[in-house]
Amino acid sequence: MGYNVAIDGPAGAGKSTIAKLVAEKKGYIYVDTGAMYRGLAIHFLDRGIKAEETEKVIEACKDADVRICYEGGMQQVYLNGMNITGRLRDEAVGRMTSKCSVIPQVREKLLDLQRELARTNDVIMDGRDIGTCVLPCADVKIYLTASVETRARRRYDELKAKGEVCDFDEIAKDIKERDERDMNRATAPLKQAADAVLVDSSDMTIEEVVNTIAGLCR
């Protein structure tokens, strides 16, 4: 039986960054559930499917194969045999992911694989509903968050560093809308598990967050 660490939290809270670093520090396998959902979103976008076309989304799930592997110690995501890692952080992909993840059939497509990984390995997994739905019996549960302003600033700085044109207010607006969708969706809404430890990273360095979470793990 694997040792499981679940990290949940809103968009832009730094879950993936922190989970990867804790995994490296503790020797766990990092399972990026968000990347798996983004892989499906890319599948839908490449087919010209809009988020509101629910039946088309459900049908497209049938021939989508999303896999995570590690090459040279780095996570790689494949969609139907093609490496799509470089496309995962596109803004359009993020918006499609948030909208499509409310569809039960999208979640069911990936849920079994995620649970099997956790059953057979020591894993740290991050997402919106890991501690509440995907791994409700996880050994350690974390709810990682930060203020909207902090999350928007981080995303703004990230995009600017890539040379992309962006607007801080638009990013903040998008984050607020994602929070609203994620917290109020009918299927597996974003919420803090009753037994999760709250970690607010607004005024913490990455190292401080990593050490705080690692200290809660065996």
For residues 31-52, one letter each, b for 16 or more C-beta atoms within 10 angstroms of the residue's C-beta and e for the rest, the string is bbbbbbbbbbbbbbbeeebebe
Q: What is the mean pLDDT of each run of 10 residues along the chain (218 residues)?
A: 94 92 91 89 97 96 85 86 96 94 90 84 91 96 98 95 94 95 88 97 96 97
pTM for this model (two decimals): 0.74
Residue 58: predicted pLDDT: 97
Residue 48: predicted pLDDT: 98
Place of tokens 């981080």: 154
Distance CA 173, CA 168 (A): 9
Distance CA 132, CA 154 (A): 26
What dihedral angle (degrees, nearest 10) is formed by the CA atoms of 4, 10, 12, 16?
Answer: 10
Distance CA 159, CA 214 (A): 29
**Contact between 201 and 144 (Cβ < 8 Å):** yes
